[in-house]
């Protein structure tokens, strides 16, 4: 199945680049606002200074306002050589004393806010308005002239085009753009280097794993950051499990090869003897032993395949609701006919319904192995009984009893080992039945016990601790 993959380096680079772009845009906008404000304040001060100089050179003589325009005022505004200057001095009735007679004195129709400021006895305000085809920044100042008993109010209006202001704001904006561009490139280089250094442990880990031979499952011993340590621990844990599984597989394969090789050698020897034997009675006996050896080999191979299938199922945890009493009855019906052919009766004595959570396929194989083992070792005309009960603590107990020879006390721990055969065993077998049953019980958290039957025989009990009431 194809899986979507992604690059951590690319993801981090995209994220940091996006953040840097956002920061740079914010910085640029802030610089633009600062540039406009700085240019406005700078040239507004020039306008205010020039207006104050004009105001200081206006006097009232015999009730008539006399204006002596100072050259210094216009020299101040000449600091912006590309800008045009407009002025007007009017009386309180709006009559022009000197200057341009079409200036927007009242700034009517201007929807922009006007900034009002007071300096000493003077009160003035700024506003920007279209005049003669371009934006003009105006300042208007009202002044009261005194001459003995006469007071007269006059208004000074001074305007300057905004070319120099816009040029200054543009210069500040351009300088800011250069700075943030340099900062962007520098930050991107630093971030790229930082990402490369942060991902270096993963690259080292990849190189270490890639250079190993397929059979090298020793733990990784690398100095890695805390964030990568859980990954290294998980890999080491996985390799330890895999190493254990491979060792177990090697051991099992060696034992299985020996167990299969032995009946094959016997089968070949018996077949050769039968070919050379002239006596028909002896030849028939030898051929019978060939059949028995073939059956034993078939049983061994079947048990080995079943064990491999169970190992696969154990890894997948194929659990579900199992009605144990119905499962036991089904297995009893399956083995009842072959058992009767050997003169052995199989009986189920349980009552009620018993449910548990488990792998039905594996549990069925466990019950079959135990029942077949009990039938194999039961005496002629014997009885194999199965029963299910529930303890007060909720534990479900499955028991299988027979009247065979039983198992000596000192051999009981060994019967769960693979391919173990009892010293007094006269029945052919693979030695895997009880071993597989024990593995299945352990997988379900159950305990498997071997007890003596009365007057003789064996009782196999499986205690399911993780049981659910019906």
Confidence of residue 469 (pLDDT cuts 50, 70, 90): very low
Exposure of 231 by Cβ count < 10 A (0-12 exposed, 13-18 middle, 19+ buried)? Answer: middle
pLDDT attached to residue 320: 85
Nearest in space to 73 (alpha carbons), one of 93, 96, 97, 47: 47
pLDDT attached to residue 373: 86
Which structure tokens are listed for 448?
């498997």
* Mean pLDDT for the chain overall: 80
Per-residue pLDDT, averaged over 203-217, amounts to: 79
pLDDT attached to residue 82: 77
Confidence of residue 470 (pLDDT cuts 50, 70, 90): very low
Domain 317-470, second-level architecture: 2-Layer Sandwich (3.30)
Are 264 and 256 in contact by the 8 Å Cβ rule? The answer is no
How many helices (H) and strands (E) are present in the chain, helices listed first? Answer: 8, 16
Measured in degrees and rounded to the nearest 5, phi and psi for residue 149 equal -100, 10
Nearest in space to 217 (alpha carbons), one of 247, 253, 179, 254: 247
Q: What percent of the chain has pLDDT over 90?
A: 5
Alpha carbon 441 to its chain centroid, in Å, reads 35
Confidence of residue 466 (pLDDT cuts 50, 70, 90): low
Q: Does domain 212-316 have CATH number 1.10.150?
A: no
Confidence of residue 122 (pLDDT cuts 50, 70, 90): low
Nearest in space to 402 (alpha carbons), one of 426, 422, 372: 372
Per-residue pLDDT, averaged over 173-198, amounts to: 85
> pLDDT tens across 28-57, in order?
888 888 888 888 888 888 888 888 888 888
Per-residue pLDDT, averaged over 21-26, amounts to: 87
Which range, of 104-118, 162-176, 382-396, 445-459, averages the lowest pLDDT? 104-118
Checking if the pLDDT of 106 tops 70, the result is no
pLDDT attached to residue 112: 43
CA torsion, ordered 44, 48, 49, 54, to nearest 10 deg: 140
Per-residue pLDDT, averaged over 327-332, amounts to: 92
Per-residue pLDDT, averaged over 335-358, amounts to: 88
> pLDDT tens across 243-252, in order?
877 777 777 7
pLDDT attached to residue 329: 92
Checking if the pLDDT of 85 tops 80, the result is yes
Which range, of 170-174, 331-335, 410-414, 421-425, averages the lowest pLDDT? 421-425
Q: Give pTM, 2 decimals.
A: 0.49
pLDDT attached to residue 105: 62
Q: Which residue has the higher pLDDT, 379 or 118?
A: 379
- Cα 265 from Cα 429, distance rounded (Å): 16
Q: b vs e for 9-29, b when ≥16 Cβ sit within 10 Å of the residue's Cβ?
A: eeebeeebeeebeeebeebbe
Residues 405, 408, 411, 413, CA torsion sign:
positive
Are 451 and 409 in contact by the 8 Å Cβ rule? The answer is no
Per-residue pLDDT, averaged over 108-120, amounts to: 47
End-to-end CA distance of the chain: 41
> pLDDT tens across 380-428, in order?
788 899 999 988 888 899 999 988 888 877 777 777 776 666 555 556 5
Tell me the DSSP string of 160-225: EESHHHHHHHHHHHHHHHHHHHHHHHHHHHHHHHHHHHHHHHHHHHHHHHHTS-TT--PPP-----
Which range, of 197-201, 331-335, 390-394, 397-401, averages the lowest pLDDT? 197-201
pLDDT attached to residue 312: 67
Q: Count CB neighbours of 303 within 10 A.
A: 23
Checking if the pLDDT of 110 tops 60, the result is no
């Amino acid at each position: 199945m194809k899986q979507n993959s992604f690059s951590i380096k690319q993801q981090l680079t995209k994220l940091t680049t996006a953040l840097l772009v956002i920061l740079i845009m914010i910085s640029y906008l802030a610089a633009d606002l600062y540039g406009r404000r700085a240019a406005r304040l700078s040239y507004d001060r020039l306008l205010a200074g020039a207006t104050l100089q004009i105001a200081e050179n206006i006097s009232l003589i015999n009730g008539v306002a006399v204006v002596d325009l100072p050259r210094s005022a216009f020299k101040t505004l000449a600091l912006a050589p590309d800008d045009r200057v407009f002025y007007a001095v009017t009386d309180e009735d709006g009559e022009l004393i000197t200057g341009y007679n079409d200036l927007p004195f009242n700034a009517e129709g201007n929807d922009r806010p006007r900034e009002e400021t007071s300096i000493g006895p003077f009160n003035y305000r700024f506003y920007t308005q279209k005049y003669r085809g371009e934006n003009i920044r105006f300042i208007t100042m009202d002044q009261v002239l005194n001459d003995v008993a006469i007071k007269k109010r006059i208004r000074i209006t001074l305007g300057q085009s905004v070319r120099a202001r816009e040029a200054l704001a543009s210069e500040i904006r351009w300088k800011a753009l250069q700075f943030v561009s340099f900062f962007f490139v520098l930050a991107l280089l630093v971030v790229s280097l930082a990402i490369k250094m942060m991902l270096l442990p993963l690259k080292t880990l990849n190189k270490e794993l890639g250079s190993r031979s397929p059979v090298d499952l020793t733990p990784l011993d690398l100095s890695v950051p805390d964030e990568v340590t859980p990954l290294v621990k998980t890999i080491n844990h996985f390799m330890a499990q895999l190493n254990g599984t491979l060792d177990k597989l090697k051991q099992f394969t060696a034992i299985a090869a020996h167990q299969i090789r032995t009946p094959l050698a016997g089968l070949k020897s018996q077949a050769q003897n039968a070919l050379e034997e002239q006596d028909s009675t002896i030849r028939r006996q030898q051929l019978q032993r060939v059949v028995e050896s073939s059956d034993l080999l078939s049983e061994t191979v079947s048990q080995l395949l079943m064990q491999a299938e169970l190992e696969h199922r154990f890894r997948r945890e194929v659990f579900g609701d199992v009605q144990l009493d119905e499962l036991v009855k089904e297995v009893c019906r399956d083995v009842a006919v072959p058992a009767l052919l050997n003169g052995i009766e199989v009986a189920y004595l349980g009552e009620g319904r018993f449910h548990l959570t488990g792998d039905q396929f594996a549990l069925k194989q466990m019950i079959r192995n135990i029942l077949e083992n009990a039938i194999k070792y039961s005496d002629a005309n014997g009885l194999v009984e199965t029963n299910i009960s529930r303890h007060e603590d909720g534990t479900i107990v499955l028991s299988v009893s027979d009247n065979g020879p039983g198992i000596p006390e000192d051999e009981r721990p060994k019967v769960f080992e693979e391919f173990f055969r009892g010293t007094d065993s006269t029945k052919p077998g693979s030695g895997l039945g009880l071993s597989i049953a024990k593995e299945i019980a352990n997988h379900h958290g159950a305990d498997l016990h071997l007890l003596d039957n009365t007057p003789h025989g064996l009782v196999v009990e499986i205690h399911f601790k993780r049981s659910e009431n019906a």
